[in-house]
Structure 1
Amino acid sequence: MAHIDYYFATLSPYAYLAGMRMEAVAKKHGATVTYKPLDLMTLFGRTGGTPPKDRHISRIEYRAIELERQSQKLGMDFNLKPAHWPTNMAPSSYAIIAAQKTGGDVGALTHAFLRACWAEEKDIAQDDVIRGCLEGAGFDPALADSDLMGSADTYAANLEEAYANGVFGAPFYVVDGAARFWGQDKIDDLDAHLASLA
């Protein structure tokens, strides 16, 4: 059975645009998934990337065009300039890490946070938003307060692991520690790769 390590940031617009397509592909092929939220800005700094606000104007303009284009293509509600971006990614990431330990639909929870930011004008660093996303995805809202130190350690470890595994952006999918796929537009390639393993 194949395994996907999914590296992402809860503020990534491209992770939002991935929707639940990776989860559908994983289910189709019987692959398991570990969700690994991380500090994307720190990862950029360590892998030669540049935070969006610091990029050349040509890149900033094209990013805006591409995000609008992809959201329309996918039929997803999308706000190019959400009211609460950027914000602190750590609290929502800790909630995902805690939820993953209990089982349940972590994909739905992850997408709930991304949708809250990019389509619902919510601040995913706020406790009420975190609890609402947890509850909406079928988790106990109290997970927002559970094992914060352990979740913080895992969050930091995810960054180090991503760096060691050649990850440099989000969303990023690594299959069985080897095959790498970067971007929401590579999910079809991920699908084909998993099919080739059957």
Structure 2
Amino acid sequence: MPDPIDFYFDFASPYGYFASLRIDELAAKHGRTVTWRPVLLGAIFKVTGMKPNLQQPLRGEYLTHDVGRIARLTGAPFTFPDSAPVNGVAASRAVYWLTDEHPEQAKLLARALYHAHFAEGRDIGPAETVAEIAGRTLGSLGIDRAAVTAALQDPTVKDRLRMETDNAVERGVFGSPFVIVDGEPFWGWDRLDMVDRWLATGGW
């Protein structure tokens, strides 16, 4: 079996949200699986010297226009959240808490958190909001709010997020979404068509 495709994203990234709606279906078309890896762009920006897009003159204004245009193009549900750029620490920790033993549930939670933030416009920064969404999404699978709340303060879970973000930097990840296919890096939602062709042809 080929290695999974690595999908790096930050919950603050609307482009990561749009990629999350497509990445698994795209990979499955080529017989591949996807490992979802939330990271913290704030920590990565300390390495690159960048600022969040919304805090950059001209680029911030362009982003707010562009993401609405992408939503109209793709038909994706979208509401620009007042809390943007959101602090994705709690959301990312919750996903990693589930990733190793329950990877599909971790993806389900990640999708639910992304939907709450960019489709419904909710602030998913607070830990209690993350726990509420997790309990609602995964409660039928035996995962409740109390368990999620406890996990968010678990030192092992905290360390996992730091480690994943550090490893992402070592692999050259500098933005969201960032997809790595067999060592080949692709940055941006608009590179997914290129990823599709790369998988179909074996690269060029």
TM-score, length of structure 1 as denominator length: 0.87
Deviation of the 1:150 alpha carbon: 1.4
Task: Provide the secondary structure at the position in 1 that maps to 2:179.
Answer: strand
Equivalent residue number for residue 108 of structure 2: 108
CA contact (8 A) 1:105 1:137 kept: no
CA contact (8 A) 1:49 1:168 kept: no
Equivalent residue number for residue 188 of structure 2: 183
Moved over 6 A (4+): none
Deviation of the 1:128 alpha carbon: 4.1
Equivalent residue number for residue 19 of structure 2: 18
Equivalent residue number for residue 41 of structure 2: 40
2:85 counterpart of 1:86: yes
CA contact (8 A) 1:99 1:143 kept: no
Note the residue ranges of structure 1 that are not aligned, 5 or more in a row.
none
Note the residue ranges of structure 2 that are not aligned, 5 or more in a row.
none
Task: Provide the secondary structure at the position in 1 that maps to 2:76.
Answer: coil
Deviation of the 1:96 alpha carbon: 0.3
Cα distance in 2 between the residues matched to 1:64 and 1:100: 31
Deviation of the 1:137 alpha carbon: 4.1
The count of residues paired between Structure 1 and Structure 2 equals 195
Deviation of the 1:194 alpha carbon: 1.9
Equivalent residue number for residue 75 of structure 1: 75
Q: CA RMSD in A?
A: 2.2
Deviation of the 1:196 alpha carbon: 2.6
Flag the 1:86–1:64 CA change in 2: closer, same or farther, 3 A.
closer
Cα distance in 1 between the residues matched to 2:29 and 2:149: 31
Deviation of the 1:41 alpha carbon: 1.8
- Identity, % of aligned positions: 31
CA contact (8 A) 1:36 1:158 kept: yes
Deviation of the 1:19 alpha carbon: 3.6
Deviation of the 1:174 alpha carbon: 0.9
TM-score, length of structure 2 as denominator length: 0.84
Cα distance in 2 between the residues matched to 1:133 and 1:33: 23
Equivalent residue number for residue 158 of structure 1: 164
Task: Provide the secondary structure at the position in 2 that maps to 1:18.
Answer: helix
Task: Provide the secondary structure at the position in 2 that maps to 1:146.
Answer: helix
